[in-house]
Amino acid sequence: MATLGEHKLYLKKDKGVVPLKEQLATVAPVLESLKCKKEERIKQFSNIRSQIEKIRFELSEYNDQGDDPSSLAAEEHDLSMRKLNSYQTQLRALQKDKSERLRKVLEYINEVHSLCGVLGIDFGSTVHEVHPSLHQNGVEQSRNISNSTLEGLASTIYKLKAERKSRIHKAREIMESLCQLWKLMDSPEEEKRQFSNVMSSLILPEEGITSPGVLSEETIEKMEFEVERLTRLKTSRLKEIVMKRRAELEAICQNAHIEPDVSTAPEQTDALIDSGPHRPF
């Protein structure tokens, strides 16, 4: 009775002397009821304790889950409603904390996923570095929502945003060179179309760039390769134009019986074109 927080036993009082057998018959149902009540209360305590420990595990910095045997043994001696209400209050507070943390973790994970998509970085390995539970798909697997996990995700987002900023700056510089070359070379629309998504994204503010892979290393390398290709083509065409003008000059000089300027010799002009300020970068 004391274990359940009850200190009085109410029995029906009869006048006169009652045989011991009848007294025992009266007490037995009460004891049986108390026994059932105790078993039910133990189940309630076990259930609420398991919920509390599960949430504590999710909030913990380390995967160190498990009940303290001495604590569980001590509870066998205090199964009162007061103690149960205390655990229920504790559970509600933990559930609220868990809900807020889980919302924040999911918010961070979604942002990491978006940034990884734009940058072409593997999302799984990125969040795994913060905590393995963040990329486990098992239904029963709980995500770690401890302070270190939240801090790790926040730090990851900061680094990804810094990388995004750096790549945007680089991509815009390359795109500027590319546009100049397209204009100079009068490039057809077919050549430009492959970079249309990148162009439309780079004119947006930083936070508005969300297209998957638009700032990936592969995309930037592809842009650089196109600039190099057009630069080589431009250099080749410049040499062709200079050679044509050189031939015209030689014809004029021959008719005038004078020697053309040696500075216009093919070796000189080719070297000048190759080393001159014509390369976009």
Dump pLDDT digits (tens) for 78-90. 778 888 888 899 9
CB 163 within 8 A of CB 118: no
Greater confidence, 188 or 141?
188
Domain membership flag for residue 237: yes
The count of structural domains within the chain is 2
Same domain, yes or no: 12 and 35: yes
Query: Do residues 178 and 67 share a domain?
Result: no
Residue 228 within any structural domain of the chain: yes
For the residues 190-213, what does the mean pLDDT come to? 92
Give the integer Cα–Cα distance in Å for 210 and 254. Answer: 63
The domain in which residue 263 lies consists of 80-275
Nearest-10 crossing angle of helices 123-130, 81-119: 140
What tens digit of pLDDT does each residue of 208-251 get?
999 999 999 999 999 999 999 988 888 777 776 667 767 676 67
Do 73 and 199 lie in one domain? The reply is no
Average of pLDDT values for 185-192?
86
132 and 90 in one domain? Answer: yes
* Same domain for 38 and 177: no
Q: Which of 70-84, 126-140, 161-175, 256-270 has the highest mean pLDDT?
A: 161-175
Predicted pLDDT of residue 274: 60
For residues 48 and 148, membership in a common domain is answered with no
148 plus 207 within the same structural domain: yes
Spatial distance between the Cα atoms of 43 and 58, rounded to a whole number of angstroms: 23
101 Cβ contact list (under 8 Å, min separation 6): 59, 145, 150
**281 domain residue, yes or no:** no
Task: Judge whether 243 lies within some domain.
Answer: yes
39 lies in a domain? yes
- Same domain? For 62 and 112 the reply is no
79, 103, 122 - which closes a domain? 79
**According to the model, what pLDDT value does residue 141 have?**
56
The amino acid present at 202, given as its one-letter code, is L
For residues 247 and 189, membership in a common domain is answered with yes
Q: Is residue 184, in this structure, part of any structural domain at all?
A: yes
195-224 burial: b if 16+ Cβ within 10 Å, else e: beebeebbeeeeeebeeeebbbeebbeebb
**Amino acid occupying residue 145:** I
- Verify that 169 and 240 share a domain, yes or no: yes
Q: Residue 207: phi, psi to the nearest 5? A: -70, -20
Residue 79 near residue 4, CB atoms below 8 Å: yes
Q: Is 186 left (phi over 0), alpha (psi -120 to 50) or beta?
A: left
**Residue where a domain stops, chosen among 35, 61, 79:** 79
Residue finishing a domain among 39, 55, 79: 79
pLDDT, tens digit, 9 for 90 and up, residues 105-152: 999 999 999 999 999 999 999 999 998 888 766 544 577 888 999 999
Q: Which residue did the predictor score with more confidence, 141 or 27?
A: 27
Least confident span in 21-35, 80-94, 169-183: 21-35
Note whether residue 71 is domain-resident.
Answer: yes
Residues 65 and 115 in one domain: no
CA–CA dist 164, 158 (Å, integer): 10
Within a domain: 2? yes
Same domain, yes or no, for 117 and 237?
yes
